[in-house]
Amino acid sequence: MYTGHLAVGLGLSARERRVAPLAILLGVGFLAVVNGLLVAGRIERVRPAPAGALGFDLVFIDWDHSIAMAAVWSVIFGGLVYLSTRRDPRAGVVGALAAFSHVVVDVLVHNGDIALWPGSSAHLGLFLWRDHPLLSYLLEAGLDIAAAAYFVARGRAAGDRGARLAWPVALLLLLHVQRWPAIDPLHWVARLPEPAADMGYAVLVVAGFAIPGALLAWLVARSRSGGRVAREEART
Ligand SMILES: [Zn+2]
């Protein structure tokens, strides 16, 4: 799952307007960033599978994508948000929820690689990537569209400007389009020899969540300042 995570973040930031969009939109990708770093450090293992929906099989990702470790990392992320927002408890809780939402949404598509805890034999995942790759792509598009509609509706209700609300939506949809396997960078690097494929995976996963997450957060914040300017103009 890729833009589905950012879609959850977009929806959550539309609902939680007092919490900085950056805390939410980096939060939803935090587990993936940890995963990329641990793959680069050879603590977790992925295997190129260019014919698959993701481009890689996730062989061992228990240190961030098991339910127990997702909870631990989410508390850590929420704690970082809490401390960086002058101890705003709501921001901390929302940041932690954003981070934990990652593994919840992943269950929909993952191929049974989400353990309950590190080393647990019990795994979650509905195997949509393996059994219904096209459906998994469309499901993620559906999440994007639903979140975009909610974001625009909440923004308009709060007086934000329509044109600026369109930018985060456009970015989200563009990111989803580039996940189509024929043009997806993750599928390209999966065809490289090892260890370049694994390193390519690590770089793309870290950069692919950190950079678009920050950019999306900036566009969301910008859509709001537009709304404030519009209201001030309306008053004068
Ligand atoms: Zn994930």
Model pLDDT for residues 114-170, shown as the tens digit of each residue: 999 999 999 999 999 999 999 999 999 999 999 999 999 999 999 998 789 999 999
d(CA 196, CA 190): 9
CB count within 10 Å of CB 217 equals: 22
**Residue 23 near residue 161 (C-beta atoms within 8 A):** no
Q: How far is the CA of 1 from the centre of ligand 1 (A)?
A: 6
**Cis before 195 (ω within 30):** yes
Q: How far is the CA of 212 from the centre of ligand 1 (A)?
A: 15
Q: How far is the CA of 27 from the centre of ligand 1 (A)?
A: 12
Q: How far is the CA of 89 from the centre of ligand 1 (A)?
A: 26
d(CA 42, CA 197): 13
∠ CA 3-134-145, rounded to 5°? 40
Q: How far is the CA of 65 from the centre of ligand 1 (A)?
A: 7
pLDDT tens for the 236 residues of the chain, in order: 999 999 999 999 999 999 999 999 999 999 999 999 999 999 999 999 999 999 999 999 999 999 999 999 999 999 999 999 999 999 999 999 999 999 999 999 999 999 999 999 999 999 999 999 999 999 999 999 999 999 999 999 999 987 899 999 999 999 999 999 899 999 999 999 999 999 999 999 999 999 999 999 999 999 996 545 445 555 55
DSSP string across the chain: --HHHHHHHHHHHHH-TTS-HHHHHHHTTHHHHHHHHHHHTTSSEEEE-TTSSSSEEEEE-HHHHSHHHHHHHHHHHHHHHHHHTTS-HHHHHHHHHHHHHHHHHHHHH--S-EESSTT-S-EE---HHHH-HHHHHHHHHHHHHHHHHHHHHHHHHTT--HHHHHHHHHHHHHHHHTTSTTT-HHHHHTTSPTTHHHHHHHHHHHHHHHHHHHHHHHHHHHHHHHHHHHHHHHH-
Contacts of 140 (CB under 8 A, 6+ apart): 1, 2, 3, 4, 7, 109, 176, 179
Protein residues within 5 Å, CB atom, of ion ligand 1 = 32, 106
Q: How far is the CA of 90 from the centre of ligand 1 (A)?
A: 24
